């Protein structure tokens, strides 16, 4: 493993750095790359938001919905998921055919 030195943005001293954004300064125990950590957290948050938006059901089920309405919404959401899966598979197969 290659070791290099990096100047700490907090205390200004040079500390050993092993190319890990979560590495802390030897002297002040603060992160050597706070901007990179914040950037990675923002990137992960955007990914979580995108995933939640992607798997959002067609008809959201609310607490105030009755048993019959919940059952119908579960059924319709399941049918919609199956439909989207089949269409996506067919599109993927068509995209791979010319290939």
Q: What whole-number distance in Å separates Cα of residue 48 and Cα of residue 28?
A: 33
The 10s digit of each residue's pLDDT in 19-50 is: 888 899 989 999 999 999 999 999 999 999 88
Mean pLDDT of the 3-18 span: 87
Residues ≥6 apart with Cβ < 8 Å to 21: 31, 33, 36, 37, 40
Q: What whole-number distance in Å separates Cα of residue 25 and Cα of residue 11?
A: 9
Q: pTM of the predicted model, to two decimals?
A: 0.54
Report domain extents, the chain. 1-56, 58-99
* Radius of gyration, alpha carbons of the chain: 25
């Amino acid at each position: 493993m290659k070791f290099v030195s990096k100047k700490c943005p907090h205390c200004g001293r040079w500390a050993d750095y092993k190319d890990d954004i979560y590495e802390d300064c030897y002297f002040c125990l603060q992160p050597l790359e706070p901007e990179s950590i914040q950037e990675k957290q923002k990137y992960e948050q955007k990914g979580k938001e995108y995933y939640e938006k992607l798997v959002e059901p067609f008809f959201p089920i609310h607490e105030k919905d009755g048993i019959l309405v919940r059952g119908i919404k579960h059924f319709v959401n399941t049918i919609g998921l199956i439909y989207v899966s089949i269409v996506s598979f067919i599109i993927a197969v068509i995209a791979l055919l010319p290939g």
